[in-house]
Amino acid sequence: MSNQVGKRLKSLRAEMEKHGVDAYVVPSADLHQSEYVAEHWKCRAWISGFTGSAGAVAVMSSSAGLWTDGRYFIQAAQELAGSGIDLFKMQMPGVPELVDWLFDNVPEGGRVGVDGRLITTSMAEKWKRTFRAKKIRLVTHLDLISGLWLDRPALSVQPAKVHPMEYAGRTVADKLKEIREAMVEKKAELYLLSSLYDIAWLFNLRGSDVPMCPVLTAYALVEKERAVLFVDESKLTEEVRSVLEADGVEWAPYDAIWSTLKALPKERSLYLCDERVSAGLHASVACKVVTGKELTALPKARKNETELKNWSRVQELDGAAMVRFWKWLEEAVLKGGVTECSASNQLAQFRLTNSECVDLSFSSISAYGANGAMMHYSPKPETCAALQPHGFYLIDSGGQYLGGTTDITRTFALGELTDEQRTDYTLVLKGVISLTRARFLKGSAGNNLDVLARQPLWEHGLDYKCGTGHGVGYYLNVHEGPQNFSQHKRSDTPLEPGMILTIEPGVYKEGRHGIRTENMVVVEEDCETECGTFYRFRTLTLCPIDIAPLHLERLSPVEIEWLNAYHQTVRKRLNPHLTAGENAWLETKTQPISASFGG
């Protein structure tokens, strides 16, 4: 791969010289700033060989760098080896941001090129402000990859599907009414949507345009009296057209969004999210622009009763698949011949056996031993590790069900463990319990609560270089905002009832092991006192937590009580979905524990 990357960089540098740019940036996004993108849009992976979901590459005549976050430090170092691309570990001491590196290395009066369709408006504006001091020009009309990537995968032509009321819980008309009320508050006559997740939610549509994320490639324009979906019309089945017409939604060709925006009268006002809409699309808007947060984000994040009811049922289906997998894993490892890939494939089969599970929600992170230290490790058939009857096996996985998206991580003991491994495992569980049990005041955000999951680790000088959890879409993207758990100030969205999040602290020790336990939770009202309204979390995920690795003496009575109660709920809820043999096995994995458990 490093030889291929070298040839591609050489070709790109020739194009850069031809177009007179000193540096060229290749982001990870598609035209809609999606987190996960279709194979067609994996330009950064193609040019660099780095396959993680997040990062950006900057190329100059004699140097190149990749910027990515803590989830991918180990993986990126391995995949970039010998490529001529340096790794820049984001948010680490002494590591410059991409824009600062460009500022320092591009000569005064120089030119930085990028495909402006692949970066957000807010990012482009930040770069321009930084470059101003050296009169560096940002050139945003350059797509230098398409002419080089000759075997580029084609775009999807799969049809769109209606997400019916029995799953959606709200009509399109009701959602549009709420959005239009928000537009009035923003003094905007039009609202431009580019986010595929928000468009799918607003119009109760799903698609197959991105692997493992059921979205439809489209733009949308909402006005007071009309709404227009800009989409490849060949994807609109008769059923979809009929439903859109009934909801008063028009449609137009996908590429017509550009000419439509250019033709808007200057006196009109259009609202857009500058963190979602691309710089290229924004530049085509002819009228007054009002920017701010996505108007659909909070309504989408606050799940309705129908969504929560369906999700609760889906968690039972997913939990049953996980129990079958763990039982199979325990028996198969003793027989031998199990690899990270075969284990991941087996879990996928258990999930997809259920007709309501349409797909996986992401490529499973199936990691044995030291591979678990790579937070987003992706095993490959030619290099995946064989599972041995000792150490830890970490599996982070999920499913796309019609009634909700799941995301769960369990770390299983396959046999003998070291004292260090058992201690780390116990500390991670303490973090999960601490945050899950929190009672918090209305108005609290993820960055107010994140410390609760880290504190047990911090007491032992441990930490993890990522957030503690993220929002989850409803039969949509497995990562959804705006709510999340993180130390960063951007994690400032107040948590509200109906919001779904994951809680997933971990310990990652390069060359030794990785441990993560992840549950999904929903925010609920707890109580009201003279001091205000308080909220709490209710755990949605239904799968036993391996008790074998625990240092029980490190758990408090309250923590032991929580774990026993959780396992009692797991047994009760999963019982109807399991065979007699599976239930008997589950009993052994969820038996009540005490400080003296196990002798």
pLDDT tens per residue across span 411-428? 999 999 999 999 999 999
Give me the mean pLDDT over the 301-311 stretch: 98
Domains for the chain: give ranges and CATH numbers. Answer: 2-139 (3.40.350.10), 161-300 (3.40.350.10), 305-588 (3.90.230.10)
Give me the mean pLDDT over the 215-222 stretch: 98
User: Roughly what angle, to the nearest 10 degrees, separates helices 340-352 and 305-335?
Assistant: 140
pLDDT tens per residue across span 113-150? 999 999 999 999 999 999 999 999 999 999 999 999 99
Q: What is the pLDDT of residue 376?
A: 87
Q: What is the pLDDT of residue 599?
A: 40
CB proximity list for 128: less than 8 A, separation 6 or greater: 138
When comparing pLDDT for 71 and 342, which is higher? 342
pLDDT-derived band at 166, boundaries 50, 70, 90: very high
**Average model confidence (pLDDT) for the chain?**
96
Q: What is the pLDDT of residue 41?
A: 97
pLDDT at 595 over 90: no
Q: What letter would DSSP give residue 55?
A: -
Taking the CA of residue 389 as centre, how many other CA atoms within 13 Å lie in the half-sphere pointing to its CB?
8
Task: Copy the structure tokens of residue 521.
Answer: 């939770």
pTM assigned to the model: 0.94
pLDDT-derived band at 71, boundaries 50, 70, 90: confident
Task: Copy the structure tokens of residue 594.
Answer: 């005490």
**CA dist., res. 545 & res. 313, Å (int):** 20
Hey, what amino acid is at 285? V
pLDDT at 75 over 50: yes
CB 531 within 8 A of CB 571: no
**CA dist., res. 295 & res. 191, Å (int):** 9
Of 473, 161, 166, 446, give the one whose Cα is nearest residue 300.
473
**CA dist., res. 431 & res. 208, Å (int):** 37
**CA dist., res. 140 & res. 124, Å (int):** 9
Q: What is the pLDDT of residue 596?
A: 64
Q: What is the pLDDT of residue 598?
A: 52
pLDDT-derived band at 490, boundaries 50, 70, 90: confident
User: Minimum mean pLDDT among 1-5, 18-22, 502-506: which range?
Assistant: 1-5
pLDDT at 366 over 90: yes
**Phi and psi of 402, rounded to 5°?**
-55, -30
pLDDT-derived band at 70, boundaries 50, 70, 90: confident
